[in-house]
A and B are shown apart, each in its own frame.
Chain A
């Protein structure tokens, strides 16, 4: 009898382990929304790549909110976990676009200065 109970407990624990790696939604909701806001502020919606990940973030945030309203925190947590990663990537891509633009402008200016007789 003891052996059976122990194995069953182990089995249930194994099953439970299949879904316990994602943090709860509260932590990631704030972070995901903040990252998405920052991305928009630096013009992520103007660059195709950045805009793509921003949209994914926004859609998942929206989805998470619905899930939370329906009491499904586990699924909401997953959606926000992905949303945060997408928003942070979008923000970084937008920053890259700006850095690239500034670098190109500086190079052009240096070249032009050299060419002036």
Chain B
């Protein structure tokens, strides 16, 4: 059966990866090339790369950056940032992107989404919606103008109607807050639309992801900040999720952490000294393809 995906999002500002907090503060993390390579090694299912300054500055995400990053990635890349012309999509797809992510332009021009999905195929077009919760209701938020646009259900249904292939659902309230995913938002969105949904915003550790993936209707969970701060973060997250509840995710890396256990913060516990000393004599040959 189709597995649910664990996706890493790289938020790019000035060509470096940053940690985003509440869509307001940005702290530097490092070079995107290194992040992409590491995430690939750790068995991530897909990578989203977003240039958050592009729209503001009336430019599009740099296709040369995408070209460089695609040499490090053997998983699909979804790229976004200021995309508002068909030629830009064509250039980005030629530069190694598999899908494009459209946020601002969806708010301005519904026609663009329809044209883009007609020319490049529905499966290439991801519409990204930033969601703000106000008085227990969900609204789509414009992060450039810093204002509410319309209700979640109106724009979600619209996106599907216009030809979006997937929805990337960002919780503005939970972004960078390490409070877990907005489960109510995820359930509501899954109910309102029949296209695949990727949830993002608030992941603190593997437990939060496990909780969100527990919503069977959700196609994928994405996290930006979370994956940057632990070694093998994707692998340990997947291993935890498989161990705890045998969730339908893909775990095919050479290292699976099958015999490992986790502490309350879902960090790997040290193996017993006996096991560690027996490991000294194990040979693991690198696989040559």
Q: Do A and B come from one complex?
A: no
